Amino acid sequence: MLQFTNTALAGLVLGMIFAAFALALVLIWRSTRILNFAQAPMAVLTTYIALVMIEDGRPYWLAFVVALLAGLVLGAVLERVVIRPVEGKPDINAVILTLGLFIVFKSGAEVIFGTKLRTYPPTFGIRGIEIGDTTIGITTSDFFTIGAVIATLVLLVALFRFTDLGLKMRAAANNQEVAGLLGVKVGAMLTLGWALAAVVGSLSGLLIAAGGLVQPSYMDSIVVFGFIAAVIGGLESPAGAVVGGLLLGFSLSFVSGYLSAQLVALVALGILMTVLTLRPGGLFTATQGRRV
């Protein structure tokens, strides 16, 4: 029973991290119809910024905030300088571009920070919570992770549902031409979309790093799993990203807990193929008519 609880809790935390990463992908997909493969190495860069600050003796939470702001700036600059020219071009150009950025950022991080493993201090305690006599496998840091992702989701939903700015962003994403005619600054909205996504991506990077070891490739598995989570969810809806993340997190946790850690990728492939075979557009998409 204890093993079951612990596996489930581990799955919850893992799922939340996948969800955060998938949220970042969904944000960018919604605003620019581009899948950002470079999301993970971008997060690696900002995490390293925070790590270097902490190692220099700066306050922990200051480093945390600076990393998020660095993500904001990085996302905005990237959209404005590199992504803008390929918007509206064939899909494959954007795919190759972000794959190229993936390589640039990752090897850039290796050149700047080296490939040595470094410890990143945890946000809060890393001891399991004690209930009665037993210690269960969830820590205060894990609670912070879960809380941070839920807060992000709530803030994003609030932004898109209830604010003027969110409405403009949705308009710019849905129909650039009409939105532009109605006075929305489409370019600025797209830049903002990338910037926000990069902040969420950085957050997921920090959450994964906290209390663990960091090296330039530490996000590599998250690239794939976060991506699968987003695709399962349908790439369109933030809620879908969270559901996809949790679904994947729980399944993978149970597979590695009860079967073998090496089967994780295979099971992920199985889940993805099953979902896509039944619903080629993911779980949370309305069926779309095809333009003729």
Interface ranges with other proteins (CB under 8 A): 29, 35, 82, 85-86, 89-93, 95-97, 99-104, 106-108, 110-111, 115, 220-221, 224, 227-228, 230-231, 235, 260, 262-266, 268-269, 272-273, 276-277, 280-282, 290-292
The smaller minimum CB distance to other proteins, of residues 8 and 95, is found at 95
Nearest distance from residue 241's CB to other proteins, in Å? 13
Nearest distance from residue 112's CB to other proteins, in Å? 10
Distances (CA, A) of 194 to 27, 52, 77, 175: 7, 25, 9, 17
Nearest distance from residue 259's CB to other proteins, in Å? 10
Distances (CA, A) of 247 to 9, 14, 128, 165: 13, 10, 24, 31
Nearest distance from residue 219's CB to other proteins, in Å? 13
Nearest distance from residue 164's CB to other proteins, in Å? 30
Nearest distance from residue 208's CB to other proteins, in Å? 17
The smaller minimum CB distance to other proteins, of residues 133 and 290, is found at 290
Tell me which amino acid residue 54 is.
Answer: I
The smaller minimum CB distance to other proteins, of residues 162 and 287, is found at 287
The smaller minimum CB distance to other proteins, of residues 140 and 175, is found at 175
H or E element in which residue 119 lies: strand 118-119
Helix 220-233 to helix 186-209 angle, to the nearest 10 degrees?
A: 130
Nearest distance from residue 264's CB to other proteins, in Å? 7
Q: What are phi and psi of 236, to 5 degrees?
A: -95, -40
In angstroms, the first-to-last Cα distance of the chain is 55
The smaller minimum CB distance to other proteins, of residues 52 and 276, is found at 276
Cα torsion 175, 179, 180, 186: sign = negative
Alpha helices in the chain (DSSP H): 2-32, 39-55, 60-78, 91-113, 140-162, 164-174, 176-181, 186-209, 220-233, 238-258, 264-278
Contact between 275 and 283 under an 8 Å Cβ cutoff? The reply is yes
Could you give the CA distance from residue 244 to residue 208 in angstroms, rounded to a whole number? Answer: 18
The smaller minimum CB distance to other proteins, of residues 138 and 190, is found at 190
The smaller minimum CB distance to other proteins, of residues 79 and 142, is found at 79
